[in-house]
Chain A
Amino acid sequence: MRGPTQILPTDRADEMLINMGPQHPATHGVLKVVIGLEGERVTRAVPHIGFLHRNHEKIEEARTYPQIITYTDRMDYVSGLQNELPFILAVEDLLGVEVPDRAKYLRVIFFELYRLASHLVWLGTGMLDFGAITPFLYTFRDRERILEIVEKTAGARMLPNYFTFGGVRRDVHPDFFKDVADFLDFFEKRLPDYYALVLDSPVFQARAVGVGVLPKERAIARGASGPVLRASGVAYDVRKAEPYDAYPEIEFEVPVREEGDVYARFWVRFKEMEESIKIIRQAIEKTPKVGPYKGKVPARMKVKGSRYRAVEISRGHLGAHVVGDGTDRPYRIKHRSPSFANLQLIPDLLVGARFADAIAILSSLDPVFGEVDR
């Protein structure tokens, strides 16, 4: 078998090879897919990645532990804050740091706020791929409100560098809980609009139902996770499988759908947004009103041992394997990123589809290249 960089010109008269990306508008960043087309039918699809490779893992070996957090942010930049957690959890385990209750709940609130923000970006850009421009502006306007709340507390918007060892970096701003509750009320009123524009739209359904079907076995074999996996009928969610922070105390459901097509992936993410609203509401109720927001952490961290922790970010199972050699810098860090695994599905799903479907399938996989390439 040829490697992906050794694609030769096609020898078939009825096939045309076309480079989709890395500057193609529907590749959500810098993916390049070499697509073979026979009319409008895709005959082969070879993804090329690495255009956004920034050498995170090696750079992190040369940084002290607190310095590393800000690098992890920059992996899945669409749901920035969520990326910090697996690394922080692993280091907390190795150091034996206790996280106070208030911090645990605050982490859950922020975590789910970023899930909402990320799914909104996905929904808007995904519908752009389907040719509808209006949902894109609606979702970005709603996301703006989330980022404003985060900005008030953390000082930054997309990459806030807010979680830290033992809790969160600073306490929330005075009106935080009211702001979040207001946003949730507002957002709940917007959701029916999104249903009408996307899931219930007959044109969208014609484009999405039965397109890009991913069988359960194939999804598991390729290591898919997140909404892509759950849309294929596997009820795997790290928040349930290996609960972290305050998730054990919160009741929520994991939306699962059996079909495994583009519509199912859209549906699962829609339901996840509804579940996120429920989770944040409960977390606001249960957060201790007073109390420390950060546990005791040694001033100079010397970490020894190895630990793997995972969380369920918007795109799936994000893990960090931290190996410490007893100094203040890690010996090795390995990030396991969901989009990277999900992208392996491209040849499976795209070959045999029509070209317009290929775009739809890519948008339903929702890759973010900061995290694929790292």
Chain B
Amino acid sequence: MSRMPLPLDRHIKPKLVGYDPTRPRPGVERLAYTLFFGSLWALVVVAYGLVPALFRSQGWLDGALGFFFYAVIEALLAFGIAAVVALILIVVLRKYLGKVQERVGPMHYGPAGVLQTVFDALKLLGKEDFAPANVDPLIFRLAPAITFVSAFLMLVAVPVAGGWVMADLNVGLLFIVAASTLGAYGVVLGGLAQGGKWGMLGAFRAGAQLVSYEVPLALALLAVGVYSGSLRLSDIVEHQQGLWHVVPMFIPFLVYLVASIAELKSTPFDLPEAESELIGGFNTEYSGMSFAFFFLAEFVELFLLPALVVVLFFGGWHGPLFGLDPASFAAQALQSFYFLVKTAVWVWIFMWIRATLPRFRDDQLMDLAWKGLLPLALFGLILAAFLRMFVEVV
């Protein structure tokens, strides 16, 4: 049955005849994802491999000035990695949700919509950063920064290949726990400082949820530390040379997985924002770049928490090296590639969970943390201790 052309149609007619911006173009998308991944890998190789190698070979690290420049450059590169990861993951998540929900996702900016986030970021930069009348101005501005910095801090301790790590801390696991806990401050303070009731409810929920889930999360990390005999993340990865930790440490793995999704505040644990209950919760009153920092922090965490799953349980950078010398640059670049691929798989699983499940209720969330995960994590810790003894005795 043919439809009569309506006068309104001229408004929606595309400017170019025969050009449909919403036509799915899987080839373009695949190419774009490959480029995204490649650029991230290149950035990682530069930040973790080339720059330190350059400074070391020239002997610049010995002088205070050289070290200062090194630190500044590395910090900038780390920020670059965090920003690129967030920019990539936002558009990938939106595209992936589109696929799951049988729609095309963003299609209008860049070929097949792959530049959507760039334009989003530009829009947020141009927006007025509005603050309502009764906010606490200092804390209101500080909170997004705290959240973003805490997410970004975790990046420093994550080893991406043998010897490739920005700060090889001997208390790496504790540093991770501390940095991720800091993020809870940003969320709670941001919710309370905005002076609105929805923000306050969101802050309460965030405080309860994030603090509760820190406990099983820390215990799961501790179990891994006990089993591998070190809190240094690169030692933990080295320890998985033969057997990935996911096999002996399966219980801490499960605990860590659930607790890290709760830390991430994504469904089924998105209670602090809960757009259908609390209208955004802690970020109700945020706009412009303040909001963008919360948003970026969320996506940096969406990269880092799966990355920690890989580091702690899935062998980190380990993979077949095809006879390359493990200390050579090529082998390290290959290892960082394995690390990024494994992380990408886990990011996808996190997104998949986000697309499928409804939300828990607050009391069920607490039940799960204190009655379910905490005993399980303690059991995992005891099991880890026994396994460690067994390994040392035999």
> Which residues in A have some Cβ–Cβ distance to B below 8 Å?
16, 18, 24-26, 37, 39-40, 127-134, 137-138, 141, 152, 173, 197, 201, 203-204, 206-207, 354-357, 359
Contacts and interface: CB of A to CB of B under 8 A. Distances in A.
Which among B197, B277, B355 has the greatest number of chain A C-beta atoms within 10 A? B277
Given A131-B274, A203-B358, 4 more contacts: A25-B275, A40-B363, A203-B360, A356-B277
B103 interface: yes
B361 A354 contact: yes
Contacts, number: 85
24 contacts: A18-B198, A24-B279, A26-B277, A40-B362, A129-B276, A129-B277, A130-B276, A131-B268, A131-B277, A132-B356, A133-B97, A134-B97, A137-B101, A137-B102, A173-B1, A201-B358, A203-B268, A203-B360, A206-B361, A206-B364, A354-B361, A355-B201, A356-B271, A359-B276
Contacts of A206: 360-361, 364
Which among B357, B358, B360, B364 has the greatest number of chain A C-beta atoms within 10 A? B358
Contact of B102 (A39, A141, A204, A359): A141
Interface in B217-276: 267-268, 270-271, 274-276
B358 A127 contact: yes
B359 interface: yes
A173 B3 CA distance: 14
A131 B270 contact: yes
B100 interface: yes
Given A132-B267, A137-B103, A26 B360 contact: no
Main secondary structure of the interface of A (DSSP, over half): helix
B358 A359 contact: no
B363 A354 contact: yes
A132 B360 CA distance: 10
B360 A25 contact: no
Interface string B194-211: 000110010010000000
A357 B100 contact: no
Given A40-B362, A133-B355, A134-B355, A359 B97 contact: no
Interface of B: 1, 97, 100-103, 197-198, 201, 204, 267-268, 270-271, 274-277, 279, 355-364
Given A24-B279, A356-B362, A138 B267 contact: no
B275 A207 contact: no
Contacts of A141: 102
Nearest to B198: A18
Contact of B361 (A132, A138, A152, A357): A357
Given A25-B276, A131-B270, A207 B361 contact: yes
A138 B101 contact: yes
Contact of A16 (B197, B357, B360): B197
B24 to A, nearest CB: 15
B101 A131 contact: no
Contacts of B364: 206-207
A18 B277 contact: no
B126 to A, nearest CB: 25
Contacts of B267: 131-132
Nearest to B268: A203
Which among A128, A131, A197 has the greatest number of chain B C-beta atoms within 10 A? A131
Nearest to A130: B358
B358 A131 contact: yes
Given A131-B267, A134-B101, A354-B362, A201 B277 contact: no
